[in-house]
A and B are shown apart, each in its own frame.
Chain A
């Protein structure tokens, strides 16, 4: 089959390279399902693209349904963490499909736009939703994106921090545009992952 010649090679080559490290059986190499939730247009896809490909496209496409990307990072204590990231559609009605993606997720990153109070309210909705329907030991991260737009800020750092603290979440402000805190976000999440006791 001609179509699949080049791409599968790349893909399988990559997966082949990752696999030895990817045996989530030991405490050194973790595999984590992560889901991004949040209002439409807050930059979920941009955060993922920045983290996985190091790119930023100001005119990115609307996400329909959900899209998937994965990325492996190495921590200082020589553990590796492979993030399997589900980037979901932001429009309210797509929330109907969200359980499909957050079910079984170890981490949920809830994103809002610091220049929009609506999106912060929506983030709070998601927190409640996950507390109700997500896995009980899910790690929640609250992310205020577009931190580069300081002059348009509507949600203060304090509001974000307080809400996150109240709900036992990890909080960070990022900018997918300037790449600020993007890697830190995922590294911080990686540090918080429960380490399986090595067999």
Chain B
């Protein structure tokens, strides 16, 4: 089994020792605290064993309990076998004990305490007695329940039934009650002759320890209580130190007085009734659970500890039966969101029917009026808590006022959920230990105050409502130091007692009723179905209205005809008087309406005052904001600067681009120019080439001409030489002379011309070559 749990932890590191989901941000913190939890658990197992041994010893002599006076060892071995067989069949073990290291060592004192309860956890749908070793506690706690039942019987037609018996006792100071108390104890305990002293001492102490905070009141009624405090204080101390995981389920039952509350077959009857009703009539028949609540329960079952290993198919069926049975049992509550978590939690710790009776004890008794249609007591408690806050933490409340935070914003969810899902599980269970032990809502207030004590200093530093709530939520969610929390709660707020709370509730309840009255008067948008009943119910809680009380009882009887535990026990007394009072009731109703109207006016005035106050606060807040706005401005300036730089950069970029383009253009132009130039060059080269050709031709022709000139000259010279030869030969004959003279003249005339032409030609050729 230990292996299994280890496996479970490896596979699902996001779940704690109880199988509940851990928030990712808390995994680390949880791991840090695991060892502390282990040490604490070992210590308290040891202490509880000693304590129970001691009690068991004193019980052995008691004839009433003889049947159960086996030693713990015997029990253990007997249960162990069952454990094995059942475990294999149901296999929903995840509720923590598995992971306890002590489980593995036989020598550990806790071993004896652990095994039996495992058995009981795994029993589905059966009723289980708690182990005999816890009988002493059970009997003592039951006396409280018996007292209440008796008181209800007696006072069914009168009085405010809200305060738990012990405080009613101390308030009223009725001897009768304390006598009953003694009678109960002696009835169950003091039958033996030998150990009478010890037992009666025990019993009496316990009846006191029921509400430790009211010791003073109780002392008055006690005779020899001074010497008896030891036992009571020991138990109280043990409870504050926490219950061992494996005893928790049973000890809770003992605290709530499950055995005394239980009526044989009642639970089974409710279940049968429910199945019959849903089989017979599909529609909303008075004898069944209203369809609306059924739907709501169906919606909420998968949303109750989603993913918890124990809430598999069977677990959910169990949860459904439990919630339906409760809805039938107490129609004034029916089903209210939050109860699904309580029922789920109880089912993890005990068998189904035990869980049912424990739930009955918690909702009907400790949280009476909390989860009903109008949730009156819950709203009253919010006002009470705020009042206590103002008293204990004036500075903190002032700061919260300044931020515009209402205390009820966070205390409401805390109270309604009894801290389930609001604190880490270890802390939730520790708070429940004390709360169930004390049997009233004092621990609720003390825990909330302790949280404020622990986290108030941090809250004062917050600067707006959102941050304050966020901070508080996350701080509360990480309250892993459960011992610190419980001890702060129990030790730090001793003046917060049930008497005090009752006083404050009486004082503040009218304002809540007034608001509700206003709502029911104005808006019957969807409330038609419940109108009268809820109004009557709200009157039930008004102090000093005995008539209403009766009528409520009547209403409960006349309405859904389901057996209400209280009615069951007190039915006859109540029924006999209900018929004769309609007129009186009407009158009282009318008076109530009047009263409510007045209260309403007062309330609206108060509201206006509040509004003005918040307006003032708002104005003050502006101051604070100025500082902040300065910083915002600074940041804005920075942003503007950055934007400016960015713009500049962009401009530069554009300029660069333009420049680049221009350069490119120029480059292009140059290129063109270059190409043009090249073309020019080519053209010129061509021209040169042509010219050269011409020149060469010219030169060639010149050379030819020169040749011709030379030829001509040589011909000329040859001619001249010939002529001169002719002249020498024919110089005598005149005729010849004459004729030849004429011819000579002509030839000489030709010569200068030819010479001149030659010169000219020469000049021309030089000119050409120079080109």
The residue that A31 contacts in the complex, of B336, B408, B466, with Cβ under 8 A, is B466
Is A15's CB under 8 angstroms from B462's CB? Answer: yes
Is A20's CB under 8 angstroms from B628's CB? Answer: yes
Known contacts A25-B626, A62-B304, A91-B336, A97 near B466 by CB under 8 Å? no
Task: Please tell me if B421 contacts chain A, counting CB pairs below 8 Å.
Answer: yes
Task: Please tell me if A197 contacts chain B, counting CB pairs below 8 Å.
Answer: no
Task: Please tell me if B632 contacts chain A, counting CB pairs below 8 Å.
Answer: yes
Known contacts A1-B454, A4-B475, A128-B525, A20 near B635 by CB under 8 Å? yes
Task: Please tell me if A132 contacts chain B, counting CB pairs below 8 Å.
Answer: yes
Known contacts A11-B470, A64-B338, A129-B523, A59 near B303 by CB under 8 Å? yes
Within 8 A of B (CB), among A4-23: 4, 6-8, 10-12, 15, 18-23
Residue of A nearest to B413 (CB): A65
Known contacts A65-B413, A101-B409, A84 near B466 by CB under 8 Å? yes
- In angstroms, Cα B599 to Cα A99, docked, is 18
Known contacts A15-B462, A82-B466, A96 near B409 by CB under 8 Å? no
Contact count band on A: 35 or more
Is B404's CB under 8 angstroms from A104's CB? Answer: yes
Task: Please tell me if A36 contacts chain B, counting CB pairs below 8 Å.
Answer: no
Task: Please tell me if A146 contacts chain B, counting CB pairs below 8 Å.
Answer: no
Residue of A nearest to B518 (CB): A133
- In angstroms, Cα B523 to Cα A40, docked, is 20
B-contact bits for A116-130, CB 8 A (1 contact / 0 none): 000000100100110
Within 8 A of A (CB), among B466-515: 466-467, 469-471, 473-475, 477-481, 484
Known contacts A96-B375, A129-B523, A4 near B478 by CB under 8 Å? yes
Task: Please tell me if B715 contacts chain A, counting CB pairs below 8 Å.
Answer: no
Is B628's CB under 8 angstroms from A11's CB? Answer: no
Known contacts A4-B458, A23-B632, A93-B373, A11 near B471 by CB under 8 Å? yes
A-contact bits for B287-318, CB 8 A (1 contact / 0 none): 00000100010011011111100000000000
Which of A66-74, A158-166, A179-187 forms contacts with chain B? A66-74
Task: Please tell me if B526 contacts chain A, counting CB pairs below 8 Å.
Answer: yes
Closest CB of chain A to B752's CB: distance in Å?
Answer: 111
Is B337's CB under 8 angstroms from A8's CB? Answer: no
B-contact bits for A100-144, CB 8 A (1 contact / 0 none): 110010000000000000000010010011001000000000000
Is B25's CB under 8 angstroms from A94's CB? Answer: no
Closest CB of chain B to A29's CB: distance in Å?
Answer: 7
The residue that B302 contacts in the complex, of A59, A66, A68, with Cβ under 8 A, is A59
Task: Please tell me if B374 contacts chain A, counting CB pairs below 8 Å.
Answer: yes
Known contacts A19-B463, A59-B306, A100-B408, A94 near B337 by CB under 8 Å? yes
Closest CB of chain B to A133's CB: distance in Å?
Answer: 8
Closest CB of chain B to A159's CB: distance in Å?
Answer: 19
CB-CB under 8 A from A20, the residues of chain B are 628, 631-632, 635
Is A65's CB under 8 angstroms from B417's CB? Answer: yes
Is B478's CB under 8 angstroms from A3's CB? Answer: yes
CB-CB under 8 A from A86, the residues of chain B are 409
Task: Please tell me if B271 contacts chain A, counting CB pairs below 8 Å.
Answer: no
Is A62's CB under 8 angstroms from B337's CB? Answer: yes
Task: Please tell me if A60 contacts chain B, counting CB pairs below 8 Å.
Answer: yes
- In angstroms, Cα B263 to Cα A139, docked, is 54
Task: Please tell me if A89 contacts chain B, counting CB pairs below 8 Å.
Answer: yes
Task: Please tell me if B464 contacts chain A, counting CB pairs below 8 Å.
Answer: yes
Is A66's CB under 8 angstroms from B337's CB? Answer: no
Task: Please tell me if B522 contacts chain A, counting CB pairs below 8 Å.
Answer: yes
Residue from A1, A21, A28 with most neighbouring chain B CB atoms (10 Å): A1
Interface of B is mostly: helix
The residue that B465 contacts in the complex, of A64, A66, A84, A97, with Cβ under 8 A, is A84
Known contacts A31-B466, A93-B336, A64 near B413 by CB under 8 Å? yes
Known contacts A12-B461, A20-B628, A62 near B300 by CB under 8 Å? yes
The residue that A64 contacts in the complex, of B421, B461, B466, B626, with Cβ under 8 A, is B421
Is B478's CB under 8 angstroms from A40's CB? Answer: no
CB-CB under 8 A from A100, the residues of chain B are 406, 408-409, 412
CB-CB under 8 A from B255, the residues of chain A are none
Task: Please tell me if B416 contacts chain A, counting CB pairs below 8 Å.
Answer: yes
Task: Please tell me if B685 contacts chain A, counting CB pairs below 8 Å.
Answer: no
CB-CB under 8 A from A70, the residues of chain B are 466-467, 469-470
Closest CB of chain B to A59's CB: distance in Å?
Answer: 4
The residue that B469 contacts in the complex, of A68, A129, A132, with Cβ under 8 A, is A68
The residue that A15 contacts in the complex, of B336, B414, B471, B479, with Cβ under 8 A, is B471
Residue of A nearest to B376 (CB): A96
A-contact bits for B13-55, CB 8 A (1 contact / 0 none): 0000000000001001100000000000000000000000000
Residue of B nearest to A66 (CB): B413
Residue of B nearest to A11 (CB): B471
Is A96's CB under 8 angstroms from B379's CB? Answer: yes
Is B306's CB under 8 angstroms from A61's CB? Answer: yes
Known contacts A22-B628, A70-B466, A3 near B480 by CB under 8 Å? yes
Known contacts A3-B454, A100-B406, A26 near B416 by CB under 8 Å? no
Task: Please tell me if B629 contacts chain A, counting CB pairs below 8 Å.
Answer: yes
Is A62's CB under 8 angstroms from B379's CB? Answer: no
- In angstroms, Cα B487 to Cα A4, docked, is 17
- In angstroms, Cα B522 to Cα A97, docked, is 16
Is B296's CB under 8 angstroms from A40's CB? Answer: yes
The residue that B412 contacts in the complex, of A26, A31, A97, A132, with Cβ under 8 A, is A97
Task: Please tell me if B142 contacts chain A, counting CB pairs below 8 Å.
Answer: no
Residue of A nearest to B462 (CB): A15
The residue that B458 contacts in the complex, of A8, A25, A69, A93, with Cβ under 8 A, is A8
Is A91's CB under 8 angstroms from B337's CB? Answer: yes
- In angstroms, Cα B622 to Cα A100, docked, is 24
A-contact bits for B196-213, CB 8 A (1 contact / 0 none): 000000000000000000
- In angstroms, Cα B298 to Cα A91, docked, is 13
Residue of A nearest to B607 (CB): A103
CB-CB under 8 A from A24, the residues of chain B are 625
Is B525's CB under 8 angstroms from A129's CB? Answer: yes
CB-CB under 8 A from A28, the residues of chain B are 632
Task: Please tell me if B267 contacts chain A, counting CB pairs below 8 Å.
Answer: no
Known contacts A2-B481, A89-B337, A97-B375, A26 near B632 by CB under 8 Å? yes
Is A25's CB under 8 angstroms from B629's CB? Answer: yes
CB-CB under 8 A from B372, the residues of chain A are 93
- In angstroms, Cα B462 to Cα A70, docked, is 14
CB-CB under 8 A from B479, the residues of chain A are 3
CB-CB under 8 A from B481, the residues of chain A are 2-3
Is B296's CB under 8 angstroms from A104's CB? Answer: no
Is A93's CB under 8 angstroms from B374's CB? Answer: yes
Is A12's CB under 8 angstroms from B480's CB? Answer: no
Task: Please tell me if B695 contacts chain A, counting CB pairs below 8 Å.
Answer: no
CB-CB under 8 A from A92, the residues of chain B are 292, 526
Task: Please tell me if B125 contacts chain A, counting CB pairs below 8 Å.
Answer: no
Residue of A nearest to B408 (CB): A100
- In angstroms, Cα B458 to Cα A12, docked, is 9
Is A25's CB under 8 angstroms from B628's CB? Answer: yes
Is A7's CB under 8 angstroms from B25's CB? Answer: yes
Within 8 A of A (CB), among B158-183: none
- In angstroms, Cα B405 to Cα A86, docked, is 12
- In angstroms, Cα B86 to Cα A191, docked, is 61
Q: A10-B474, A23-B624, A125-B526 are in contact. List 8 more A-B contacts (CB 8 A).
A: A8-B458, A11-B470, A18-B467, A21-B632, A25-B628, A84-B469, A96-B374, A100-B412
29 A-B residue pairs with Cβ-Cβ distance under 8 Å, sorted by A, are A8-B458, A11-B474, A12-B461, A15-B463, A18-B467, A19-B463, A21-B632, A23-B628, A25-B622, A25-B625, A28-B632, A40-B300, A40-B337, A61-B421, A62-B303, A62-B304, A62-B341, A64-B341, A64-B421, A65-B416, A68-B469, A68-B470, A70-B470, A91-B337, A93-B375, A96-B375, A100-B408, A128-B525, A132-B523
Residues of chain A having any CB pair with chain B under 8 Å: 1-4, 6-8, 10-12, 15, 18-26, 28-29, 31, 33, 40-41, 57, 59-70, 82, 84, 86, 89-94, 96-97, 100-101, 104, 122, 125, 128-129, 132
Q: Which 10 A/B pairs are nearest by Cβ-Cβ distance?
A: A65-B413, A23-B628, A59-B306, A25-B625, A23-B625, A84-B466, A15-B467, A70-B466, A64-B417, A64-B338
